[in-house]
Amino acid sequence: MERRPKPVSRRPGRRVDPRPASQPDPVRLPLPHIEELIEFGEIMLGNKYPIGGVAVASDEHNALAMLVRRDGETLAQLLTRLDQAVARALDEDIYTDEINPRS
């Protein structure tokens, strides 16, 4: 008798529904320092267990800013804080790290 492979249980994929045509375009945020950074670096947004929501901006050599999303903070507010932290890193060499506790 031939063995059958066990069925693999997969989580259903999540899809973002397209915006209805009747909705206006979303508000555009002015994020000039993030725009400058992505020419030579990157930003990452996500959920890191056990921290929660995080936003990280880095260039090819350094983590410029690592922020933890605050309770009730919108994505727009988090990105604005990240833009300000990137500005401090690029202009004043002040790096923000809210993820790693200081000893």
The string of DSSP letters for 47-89 reads: EETTTEEEEEEE-SS-EEEEEEPPTT--HHHHHHHHHHHHHHH
Residue 13: inside a domain: no
| Rounded average pLDDT per 10-residue block, the chain, 103 residues | 71 69 72 94 95 96 96 96 97 96 77
pTM: 0.74
Residue 3: inside a domain: no
3-state secondary structure of 97: strand
Res 15: pLDDT: 74
Indicate the pairing of strand 63-68 with strand 52-58. Answer: antiparallel
Residue 103: inside a domain: no
Residue 21: inside a domain: no
Residue 73: inside a domain: yes
Domain, as residue range, for 37: 32-97
Residue 38: inside a domain: yes
Q: Give the number of domains in the chain.
A: 1
Residue 69's nearest CA partner among 52, 86, 91, 57 is: 52
3-state secondary structure of 42: strand
Residue 14: inside a domain: no
Res 3: pLDDT: 77
Res 32: pLDDT: 95
Residue 41: inside a domain: yes
The span from the CA of 97 to the CA of 79, in Å, is: 15
Q: Which helix (H) or strand (E) holds 44?
A: strand 42-48
